């Protein structure tokens, strides 16, 4: 009975902490309770051998300032993180990196280099997030930080990302990013060495019907 009460109190404390200090995730999510009685939320596939409840259009809380572990790096601007009982995908907000070929399609020049640079910046490190809501494909839009280093901005400074040309979320400081892009272009860093042969990731996606 004491152990059961302890588990309940622990779960309540986790939820209260998240509500007090959190930021919101939305979209289709799953919830399940592990063998220790702890409740988990995730917007990726739940455990194969466990019962999970799908929760659609609910709102979930990710604590501000919480440190997350990088679980997977998909390309230069998309990663998966885990922590605090959550596992979810992040689209680095405000930037666009060269595309990696999928299903046998051709990769864009500097697509592999962009992924390698992001890996160098965040692999085996813990990160914190500044969230700007949820975008397409049920991905969290966020600036990611290693300590005080803004990784999104570093990708632009390296010449391996351009400023995203589509609609940007409210509160996002685009000016810093455009300044960084201008300097990278002027210095012919990374992908900018291509000069007039350069194609934006958006152009490449349209050309090869990606995403």
Given a cut of 60, whether residue 147 has pLDDT beyond it is yes
Given a cut of 60, whether residue 203 has pLDDT beyond it is yes
List the Cα angle 10/59/135 in 5-degree steps. 130
- Tell me the domain boundaries of the chain: 2-63, 68-198
Given a cut of 90, whether residue 77 has pLDDT beyond it is yes
Protein fold of 68-198: OB fold (Dihydrolipoamide Acetyltransferase, E2P) (2.40.50)
Which of 94, 85, 91, 33 is closest to 60 using CA atoms? 85
- 10 Å CB burial of residue 68 (0-12, 13-18, 19+) is buried
Given a cut of 70, whether residue 39 has pLDDT beyond it is no
Q: What is the mean pLDDT of residues 4-30?
A: 48
Per-position DSSP letters for 199-210, written without gaps between them: --HHHHHHHHT-
Active site residues: 91, 99, 139
Name the band, by pLDDT with cuts 50, 70 and 90, for residue 17. very low
- Output the pTM of the full model: 0.72
Nearest-angstrom CA–CA distance, 198 and 208: 15
């Amino acid at each position: 009975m004491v152990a059961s009460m302890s588990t309940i109190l622990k779960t309540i404390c986790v939820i209260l902490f998240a509500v007090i200090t959190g930021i919101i995730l939305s979209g289709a999510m799953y919830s399940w309770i592990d063998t220790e009685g702890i409740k988990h939320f995730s917007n990726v596939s739940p455990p194969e051998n466990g019962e999970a409840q799908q929760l659609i259009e609910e709102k979930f809380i990710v604590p501000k300032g919480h440190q997350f572990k990088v679980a997977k790096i998909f390309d230069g601007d998309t990663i998966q993180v885990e922590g605090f009982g959550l596992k979810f995908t992040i689209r680095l907000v405000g930037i666009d990196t060269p595309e990696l070929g999928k299903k046998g399609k051709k990769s864009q020049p500097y697509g592999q280099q962009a992924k390698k640079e992001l890996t160098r910046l965040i692999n085996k490190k813990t990160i914190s997030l500044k969230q700007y809501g949820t975008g397409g494909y049920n991905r969290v839009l966020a600036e990611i930080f290693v300590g005080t280093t803004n990784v999104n901005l570093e990708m632009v400074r390296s010449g391996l990302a351009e400023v995203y040309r589509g609609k940007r979320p409210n509160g996002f400081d685009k000016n810093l990013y455009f300044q960084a892009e201008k300097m990278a272009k002027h210095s012919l860093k990374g992908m900018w060495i291509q000069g007039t042969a350069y194609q934006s990731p958006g152009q490449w996606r349209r050309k090869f019907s990606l995403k």
